């Protein structure tokens, strides 16, 4: 992003009567709402959530902020050292600025959501499109009403495609983001149980996911999992070109076979049976994410051999089914950004089919936002665990106690371990004490459990 203070002020309708001409022409090179990451020349966005961003204005000034947005109801302590653009609501002004910049750069927009797989699919789509176009994609987990504007404002002026991941935990969230981004292509990877605490049923989750089509351009495309009846029914009301992917032959794009390797998965696609596709991650379920990405590539006429080449070596966002090497030489499968029953079972199924000379060790943490059904859903993971294939299990979190009780009759006491959520350090120490170089460790939990700290201990 490169704009002047004057251009920004005009975009968000901020009053500049007290600004001289030189100040209006002052360049701004980016935006920042976390002063710990402030770079000289950026616009500071003081947001109000758990903390009030306005309280950190001195840090922003020290970090070299060129200017700041400023909420009207904080006018009694207007900053004096840098220009302040006074607005009614800093978040809404931030979003309005991103909309202005999106219209200015005018890239094609690919919007991606789903209960599972949206981050992986985002990475795959970006890899495929980057073979031919200049692409910006959502960084890390910047996939909400704050993250989307931030992603948009990170675009370079030559961006041709924006690949935007969109998450949600309540009705209306995707409606807002879709209408802000106005996608050329909307993708729904699948419908699962994520956030069922807030929605109650998968039907209502599907309704909320369909909001991603609300801002879809009239000449746009809707790409979705054609094996999901909830989506097939709802797609009938979306009047754009549709493309389905999945495993059934009724889909436009489907896998004709798939085979798990030690650290990768191979498959073929109905449209090009002679081309070998390979992704650098295990799990048959990840093939569906690749099929979604291939469907997008097909819309923009990327040659299938180029798509295969890009998928074979795409950059996967950290902590999503990521293979690492531990300090003792053990292999670690880190999938600790998020979790729900469907995803956890799929990862466990893939993990127990890996080849190893040592033990497979599963480390499972609480799956959050499952509501009244949480205990039962945690206990249901028992169907994906058995001592013959995964001989050692570590569990952490209050709701994992249900799985612990379910596994007690199956696992020997010395191979089944349970911890409270605040015992991360003890968990990491106990795992590390028993590891050998030939072992494999899989970690899966919702991000709120912070199993990434255990991963960090095991890999330091």
Annotated binding site for ATP: 114-120
State the Cα–Cα distance between residues 83 and 90, nearest whole angstrom.
15
Let me know: does 309 contact 275? Beta carbons within 8 Å. Answer: no
State the Cα–Cα distance between residues 320 and 322, nearest whole angstrom.
5
Give how far the C-alpha of residue 245 lies from the chain's centroid of Cα atoms, to the nearest Å: 20
Q: b vs e for 15-42, b when ≥16 Cβ sit within 10 Å of the residue's Cβ?
A: ebeebeeeebebebebbbbebeebeebb
Q: What letter would DSSP give residue 391?
A: -
Cα radius of gyration rounded to whole Å, the chain? 24
Numbered residues of the known binding site: 114-120
Q: Is the alpha carbon torsion for 40, 43, 44, 45 positive or negative? A: negative
Return left, alpha or beta for 388; rule: phi > 0 is left, psi -120 to 50 is alpha, else beta.
alpha
Going from the C-alpha of 134 to that of each of 16, 163, 384, the distances in angstroms are 35, 11, 42
What angle, rounded to 10 degrees, do the helices at 285-299 and 304-311 form?
Answer: 140
- Among 299, 370, 309, which Cα is nearest to 341's? 370
Would you mind telling me the total number of residues written for the chain in this entry? 460
Return left, alpha or beta for 22; rule: phi > 0 is left, psi -120 to 50 is alpha, else beta.
alpha
Task: Give the other-Cβ count within 10 Å of 354's Cβ.
Answer: 18
State the Cα–Cα distance between residues 432 and 448, nearest whole angstrom.
22
Do the strands 392-396 and 416-419 form a parallel or antiparallel pair, or are they unpaired? Answer: parallel
State the Cα–Cα distance between residues 210 and 221, nearest whole angstrom.
13
- Among 189, 182, 245, which Cα is nearest to 218's? 182
Please give the sequence-ordered ranges of beta strands (E in DSSP) within 219-347, or none if there are none: 221-225, 241-246, 253-260, 265-269, 272-279, 322-325, 331-335
Do the strands 265-269 and 253-260 form a parallel or antiparallel pair, or are they unpaired? Answer: antiparallel
């Amino acid at each position: 992003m490169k704009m002047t203070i004057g251009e920004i002020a005009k975009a968000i309708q901020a009053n500049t009567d007290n600004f001289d001409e030189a100040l209006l022409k002052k360049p701004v090179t980016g935006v920042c709402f976390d002063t710990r990451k402030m770079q000289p020349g950026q616009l500071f966005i003081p947001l109000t959530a758990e903390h009030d961003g306005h309280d950190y204005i001195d840090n922003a000034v020290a970090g070299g902020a060129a200017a700041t947005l400023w909420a009207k109801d904080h006018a009694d302590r207007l900053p004096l050292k840098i220009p302040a653009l006074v607005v009614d609501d800093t978040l809404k002004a931030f979003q309005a600025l991103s909309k202005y910049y999106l219209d200015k750069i005018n890239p094609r927009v690919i919007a991606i959501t789903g209960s599972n797989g949206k981050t992986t699919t985002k990475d795959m789509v970006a890899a495929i499109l980057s073979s031919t176009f200049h692409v910006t994609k959502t960084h890390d987990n910047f996939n909400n009403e704050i993250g989307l504007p931030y992603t948009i404002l990170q675009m370079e002026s030559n961006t041709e495609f924006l690949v935007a991941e969109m998450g949600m935990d309540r009705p209306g969230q995707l409606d807002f983001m879709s209408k802000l981004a106005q996608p050329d292509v909307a993708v729904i990877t699948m419908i699962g149980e994520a956030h069922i605490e807030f929605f109650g049923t998968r039907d209502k989750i599907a309704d909320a996911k369909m909001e991603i089509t609300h801002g879809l351009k009239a000449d746009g495309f809707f790409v979705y999992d054609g094996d999901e009846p909830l989506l097939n029914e709802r797609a009938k009301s979306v009047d754009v070109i549709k493309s389905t992917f999945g495993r059934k032959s009724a889909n436009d794009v489907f896998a004709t076979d798939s085979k798990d390797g030690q650290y990768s998965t191979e498959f073929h696609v109905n449209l090009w049976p002679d081309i070998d596709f390979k992704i650098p991650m295990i799990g048959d379920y990840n093939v569906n994410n690749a099929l979604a990405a291939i469907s997008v590539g097909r819309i923009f006429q990327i040659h299938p051999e180029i798509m295969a080449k890009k998928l074979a070596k795409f950059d996967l966002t950290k902590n999503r089914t990521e293979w690492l090497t531990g300090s003792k030489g053990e292999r670690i499968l880190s999938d600790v950004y998020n979790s729900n029953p469907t995803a956890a079972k799929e990862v466990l199924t893939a993990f127990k089919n890996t080849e190893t000379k040592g033990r497979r060790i599963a480390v499972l943490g609480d799956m959050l936002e499952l509501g009244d059904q949480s205990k039962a859903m945690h206990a249901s993971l028992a169907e994906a665990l058995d001592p013959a294939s995964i001989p050692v299990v570590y569990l952490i979190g209050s709701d994992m106690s249900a799985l612990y009780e379910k596994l007690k009759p199956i696992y020997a006491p010395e191979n089944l371990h349970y911890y409270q959520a605040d015992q991360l350090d003890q968990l990491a120490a106990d795992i590390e004490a028993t590891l050998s170089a030939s072992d494999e460790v899989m970690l899966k939990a919702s991000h709120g459990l912070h199993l990434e700290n255990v991963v960090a201990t095991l890999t330091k």
